[in-house]
Amino acid sequence: MEPIVDIIDILGTIAFAISGVITATKKRMDLFGILIVATVTSVGGGTLRDLLIGKSPVTWLLNTTFVYTILVSTVVGVIFRKQLHYVRKSLFLFDTIGIALYTITGVQMGLLIDLNPVICVALGTITACFGGVIRDILCNEIPVIFRKEIYASACILGGVVYIGLIHLGVTAGLTAVMAGITVVVVRTLAVVYELQLPSIYTQAEREQNN
């Protein structure tokens, strides 16, 4: 693994862990609970992917860098939890880079074991998104990405770009960069312009919900 990828991977882990700390402290969890939620947010997506494809032991058991990064992020996140909104933009950047990288890793691992391209895109999306899904379930919430995030769509598009470029014969390195940029750009545009998936509900249905 290239040093630059290592650094991005760690930034992603930090961003996910901090998002776990934010959700867990809102629920007034104790330190242990916060640590667990930070951990599943960071490693949950990759763990689910590893289980589905049969990679064992799962990745984070084999590399303590993840555990230590999460531990430090959690402690720092808890101490500075009131200041976290000052670094909201940096966190958004890390988080977006994190899901881009996780998407690519997931797609690549699917291709390595010769899975169908559609399944590979699903694996990339699971890797990027299911840490957050498990986080929300542990916090007794309906997963936020099921309701208002364009997040998952950015990962799906990134995965499709990856598969497409590889099929066109583009090198793996350039493909990864282009797919990553796709995720980052789509997600950033979505947040800047407040894009959401088109609502399937009529006005009447939405009011009924309120």
For residue 198, say if its preceding peptide bond is cis, omega within 30 degrees of 0: no
Does residue 143 bind a copy of itself (CB under 8 A)? yes
Query: Which one, 174 or 197, has the nearer CB to a copy of itself?
Result: 197
Q: Are 43 and 61 in contact (CB under 8 A)?
A: no
Sign of CA dihedral 13, 4, 117, 158: positive
42, two tokens: 């960071």
Query: Which one, 57 or 173, has the nearer CB to a copy of itself?
Result: 57
Residue the block writes with tokens 């939620």: 37
Does residue 141 bind a copy of itself (CB under 8 A)? yes
Contacting residue, 3, 148, 192, 203, with a copy of itself by CB under 8 A: 148
**Contact pattern for a copy of itself over residues 79 through 118, marking x by CB under 8 A:** -------------------------------x--x-xx-x
Contacting residue, 72, 112, 142, 172, with a copy of itself by CB under 8 A: 142
Number of C-beta neighbours around residue 160 at 10 A: 18
Does residue 37 bind a copy of itself (CB under 8 A)? yes
Distance CA 140, CA 128 (A): 20
Q: How far is the CB of 173 from a copy of itself (least distance, A)?
A: 26
Q: Are 13 and 97 in contact (CB under 8 A)?
A: no
Angle at 130 between CA 125 and CA 133, to 5 degrees: 135
Q: Which residues of this chain interact with a copy of itself, rule CB under 8 A?
A: 24-25, 27-34, 36-37, 47, 51-54, 56-58, 61-62, 64, 67-68, 78, 110, 113, 115-116, 118-119, 122-123, 133, 137-143, 145-148, 152-153, 196-201, 205-206, 209
